[in-house]
Structure 1
Amino acid sequence: MSKDIKIKKGLTIRLKGEADKTLSNAPRSRTFAIRPSDLHLVTPKLVVKEGAKIQAGDTLFYSKDNEAIKFSSPVSGTLTEIERGPKRVITKITLEGDQQDTFKDFGVKMPDAMDAAAIKNHLLVSGCWPFIMQRPYAVIANPEQMPKAIFVSGLNTGPLAVDLDFALHGKEKELQVALSALAKLTEGSVHITIDKDGNSPLAGMNDVVLHKTNNLHPAGNVGTQINKLDPVNKGEVVWTIAAQDLVIIGELFLTGKYNAERIIALAGSSVKTAKYYRTRIGSEVATFVYDSGLTEENVRIISGGVLSGTAISPKQHLGFYDTAVTVIPEGDDYEFFGWNKPIFNKISTTRALTFSWLTPKKKFDLNTNTNGEHRAFVVTGSYEEVFPLDIFPMQILKACMVQDLDEMEALGMYEVAPEDFALTEFVCVSKQPHQQIIRKGLDLMYKEIG
């Protein structure tokens, strides 16, 4: 039975530079890269060597902790470099792509004619399994566990994020096949949440339970949806998957190809032409950033959204799970007495010398300046105003900092991920790295409790 969601706590951050609803093919990237750091807690074990010729879909490496979880090449070409860090830990695998991809054939299959074990094996062998994440711990799902439910968010409410109604347009067949396959992997339901005012291609899917929500951020976060629909308790597991990754899985079943295509939103106030590009996982960011052009030189390029993305250089590559590249001004300049005068060009949840509340529809041109230095936690009540989960944000952050596992469990750590604390980090007057604190807390629980 469907259940609509309406959150009242949150913050919609309106920024200049939203991507226009036009789609272009990004120039073919010369190199592609997979960074194991994007695949949290995965220790890669290589199955190919430098100089090897590979097809799109060939296995590059598998997880040391679970050899069944394989990671495939997004393109065909030559493995040119294996970059290693301290203790010979693999930090990046670089591929030089062919002019045109050739694909490994995994065979056309129909989920309706397959049982759960066959579907799971197909996803593992092809390299599509890493798209399925799990709560607790916000890591790649353990294929040996049975989730009580699977969640897919059909909307992005974050600032300058990809519009899924646009990105998924025309992919209804692939979406349906993927969802029918996933429905066989859970004893519960596949939950999809869409914008109540949108026109989502996911609205007419079968084998799912459809929910609608308002578009106040973070309603689009899958963690918010889990909390409101089916919270995760101790001993329970739910799986999540990004909507665009459903398309890759659906195409695998329909064509037998691992087609690691991404539609990314190139956005931000420092981009000349903010629009959508069709590219591939791990492509060089410069291919579409320089194709669009920049309005200034001193910028920060972010693989992902402005709240949770990773700062990179143009010569680096798109993150494994990222569907946006955001370019905003670098905030390395400081205002003299900036804290002691009326402010009209910044967003604030307080009314202390700030006036953004007077213009709720205004779009702002913000930079990366934190407008203050790191300091001790100050109890202001601002976290609770933007945090819609039924969890105490300040208390759970402090429990993570002191590594109190019992308190972390009691406060609801099993159902959160770092992105759920992006807004509390944004409004934090203490400039504490909330997402980093939560990530370290989850890693500690995974190590100690498993």
Structure 2
Amino acid sequence: MSKIVKLKKGFDINLVGKAKQELANFAAAQTFAIKPTDFIGFQRPKVLVNEGDTVKAGTPLLIDKAMDQVIYASPVSGEIVEIKRGDRRKLLEIKILAHKAMTFETSEKVNLASIDRDTLAAKLAGSGVWPNIIQRPFGIVANPADTPKAIFISAFDTHPLAPDYGFTLQGEEKYLQAGIDALAKLTSGKIHLNVDGSKPVPAVFSGIQGAQINQFSGPHPAGNVGVQIHHLDPINKGEIAWTVSPTGVVQIGKFILEGIYDSSKVIAVTGSEITKPSYVKTFSGANVSTFVKGNLNSGHVRVISGNVLTGEKIHLEGFLGFYHNQVTVIPEGDYYEFLGWAKPTTEKLSYHRALGLLSFLSPKKEYVLDSNGRGEERAFVQTGVFESVTPMDILPVYLLKAILAEDFDEIEELGIYEIVEEDLALCEFVDVSKHPVQELVRKGIELIQYS
């Protein structure tokens, strides 16, 4: 039975630079990359191609020898122009110069009515679409051999300047339905499709069959799938659930119906430093300079693959992350501002009224924020503010302290199985003590995962 969940805890970060719902006419990106660092838990990469090789979209590029049945495929057809490595020959990225005309590795179309669960999982794992399926707990690429108790899809995003799936997935209804039909064969439980309860359900989701449609409303992080899992079917020790983004579901559906790995997606180009924030159609791993260069209000900026809370800082010639549907550009904050946090002003956004900022007087105002942290790390100040922006029955401060102390029993008891970094990213934003909350969450996950 569908559920309606209204959340009160959280905080919306309203920024200047939201994308207009129109497709911009940018030139097509020429170079693309797949980065092992995009895939949390990727342990032992094995490269399957060499520089100079010609590949198609869907050609296997690398595998993780710890789970070698899952392949990581080329997002486009073209030539392998660089296999970039860092310290101790750590694999950083495989760069592809794209062909003008896209060609695909093809496979037989999947008949869901006759295929069994294990065969379907094996076909998806060998197609390039499987990395879209993420396991909870731990937030890692799912193991095809596991059977999750349920699969969760968040059909809306409440992060700052996030894209609107109702717009980006227009015309993809049949692929979305096919993807959900395929996922239904992989779980013994339900498919939960969670929509924004404060708005009409977008047409692309309203006709979906075979999924329980739940409504969530409230401030960020209401759109986080981890928060939704917590309120629908919490994960306990020993249990496994899977999550998939709507874009990932569409990619799975295209493989089912057409037998190809099509990594195309519509992404949002956003931020106060973008001249014309808009949407653009591209492929996973695109070089973002195509959408950013010549579209900037200034030259001293920070380019982020993803959103400002959980995204990855990249350079102007960097590449779109595998799981990202957004590029954000904000002013670089590499300056010192004397007593900047203490000056009464309506031009800065703060969750804390006591800090002298007056943003609470204009809750709907959009702000230009830069990357300046306005402070440095210090001892935890226990104010209860973390709990006020975390709509889950966990105690974030005690959990983070348990992680710092490496107290395994406390880490488990305080809720590590229910969260990944994005679920406490808002705590990092409101933290007056300037702790790297998301780094601590990953440290805690790894302490439990590898213990």
Which TM-score band applies after superposition, normalised by the shorter structure? over 0.9
Opposite residue 433 of structure 1, the aligned amino acid is P
> Which ranges of 4 or more aligned residues in structure 1 deviate by more than 4 Å?
none
Residue in 2 aligned with 1:209? 212
In structure 1, C-alpha distance between the alignment counterparts of 2:434 and 2:221, rounded to whole Å: 20
Residue in 2 aligned with 1:13? 13
Matches within 5 A, 1:106-185: 106-185=107-186
Gaps of 5+ in 1: none
Residue in 2 aligned with 1:431? 434
- Offset, 1:202: 1.6
Q: Is the contact between residue 49 and residue 61 of structure 2 (CA under 8 Å) also seen in structure 1?
A: yes
Q: Is the contact between residue 157 and residue 215 of structure 1 (CA under 8 Å) also seen in structure 2?
A: no
In structure 1, C-alpha distance between the alignment counterparts of 2:258 and 2:58, rounded to whole Å: 12
In structure 2, C-alpha distance between the alignment counterparts of 1:156 and 1:236, rounded to whole Å: 25
Residue in 2 aligned with 1:302? 304
In structure 1, C-alpha distance between the alignment counterparts of 2:375 and 2:238, rounded to whole Å: 41
1:277 maps to which of 255, 273, 280: 280
Residue in 2 aligned with 1:236? 239
Identity level (%)? 44
Q: Is the contact between residue 38 and residue 319 of structure 1 (CA under 8 Å) also seen in structure 2?
A: yes
Computed over aligned residues only, the root mean square deviation of the Cα atoms, in angstroms, reads 1.2
Residue in 2 aligned with 1:41? 41
- Offset, 1:337: 2.5
Opposite residue 231 of structure 2, the aligned amino acid is K
Opposite residue 99 of structure 1, the aligned amino acid is K
Matched, 1:251 2:254: yes
Opposite residue 122 of structure 2, the aligned amino acid is N
Matched, 1:268 2:265: no
Opposite residue 318 of structure 1, the aligned amino acid is L
Cα pair distance change 1:23/1:45, threshold 3 Å: same
1:329 maps to which of 317, 328, 331: 331
- Offset, 1:48: 1.5
Q: Is the contact between residue 147 and residue 186 of structure 1 (CA under 8 Å) also seen in structure 2?
A: yes
Cα pair distance change 1:121/1:28, threshold 3 Å: same
Between the two proteins, the alignment pairs up a number of residues equal to 447
Residue in 2 aligned with 1:377? 380
Q: Which deviates more, 84-93 or 305-314? A: 84-93
- Offset, 1:257: 1.2
Residue in 2 aligned with 1:61? 62
Opposite residue 49 of structure 2, the aligned amino acid is V
Cα pair distance change 1:26/1:444, threshold 3 Å: farther
In structure 2, C-alpha distance between the alignment counterparts of 1:98 and 1:138, rounded to whole Å: 33
Gaps of 5+ in 2: none
Residue in 1 aligned with 2:224? 221
Matched, 1:442 2:445: yes
Residue in 2 aligned with 1:51? 52
Q: Secondary structure at the match of 2:24?
A: strand
Matched, 1:198 2:228: no
In structure 2, C-alpha distance between the alignment counterparts of 1:116 and 1:161, rounded to whole Å: 34
- Offset, 1:96: 1.3
Opposite residue 2 of structure 1, the aligned amino acid is S
In structure 1, C-alpha distance between the alignment counterparts of 2:344 and 2:61, rounded to whole Å: 55
Q: Secondary structure at the match of 2:109?
A: coil
Q: Is the contact between residue 10 and residue 218 of structure 2 (CA under 8 Å) also seen in structure 1?
A: no
Opposite residue 21 of structure 1, the aligned amino acid is Q
Matched, 1:413 2:416: yes
Residue in 2 aligned with 1:188? 189
Q: Deviations over 1:36-77 (max 9, x none)?
A: 111112121112222111111111111110110111100111
Q: Which deviates more, 327-336 or 155-164? A: 327-336
Q: Is the contact between residue 7 and residue 216 of structure 1 (CA under 8 Å) also seen in structure 2?
A: yes
In structure 1, C-alpha distance between the alignment counterparts of 2:71 and 2:416, rounded to whole Å: 28
Q: Is the contact between residue 62 and residue 71 of structure 2 (CA under 8 Å) also seen in structure 1?
A: yes
Q: Is the contact between residue 26 and residue 279 of structure 1 (CA under 8 Å) also seen in structure 2?
A: no
Q: Which deviates more, 53-62 or 327-336? A: 327-336
Q: Is the contact between residue 267 and residue 327 of structure 2 (CA under 8 Å) also seen in structure 1?
A: yes
Matches within 5 A, 1:75-86: 75-86=76-87
Matched, 1:357 2:360: yes
Q: Is the contact between residue 266 and residue 274 of structure 1 (CA under 8 Å) also seen in structure 2?
A: yes
In structure 1, C-alpha distance between the alignment counterparts of 2:71 and 2:341, rounded to whole Å: 51
- Offset, 1:145: 1.1
Q: Is the contact between residue 25 and residue 279 of structure 1 (CA under 8 Å) also seen in structure 2?
A: no
Matched, 1:368 2:346: no
Q: Which deviates more, 322-331 or 207-216? A: 207-216
Residue in 2 aligned with 1:101? 102
Q: Is the contact between residue 112 and residue 180 of structure 1 (CA under 8 Å) also seen in structure 2?
A: no
Q: Is the contact between residue 267 and residue 275 of structure 1 (CA under 8 Å) also seen in structure 2?
A: yes
In structure 1, C-alpha distance between the alignment counterparts of 2:86 and 2:181, rounded to whole Å: 41
Opposite residue 240 of structure 1, the aligned amino acid is T
In structure 1, C-alpha distance between the alignment counterparts of 2:158 and 2:329, rounded to whole Å: 18
In structure 2, C-alpha distance between the alignment counterparts of 1:338 and 1:31, rounded to whole Å: 41
Q: Deviations over 1:283-306 (max 9, x none)?
A: 100011125x10011110000001
In structure 2, C-alpha distance between the alignment counterparts of 1:86 and 1:224, rounded to whole Å: 37
Q: Deviations over 1:372-410 (max 9, x none)?
A: 111111111111111101110101111111211111111
Q: Which deviates more, 431-440 or 22-31? A: 22-31
Q: Deviations over 1:246-284 (max 9, x none)?
A: 111111111111111121110001000000010111110
Opposite residue 301 of structure 1, the aligned amino acid is V
Residue in 1 aligned with 2:313? 311
Q: Secondary structure at the match of 1:112?
A: coil
Q: Deviations over 1:82-119 (max 9, x none)?
A: 11222222111111111111101112223233221222
Q: Which deviates more, 152-161 or 327-336? A: 327-336
Q: Which deviates more, 23-32 or 179-188? A: 23-32
Q: Is the contact between residue 191 and residue 211 of structure 1 (CA under 8 Å) also seen in structure 2?
A: yes
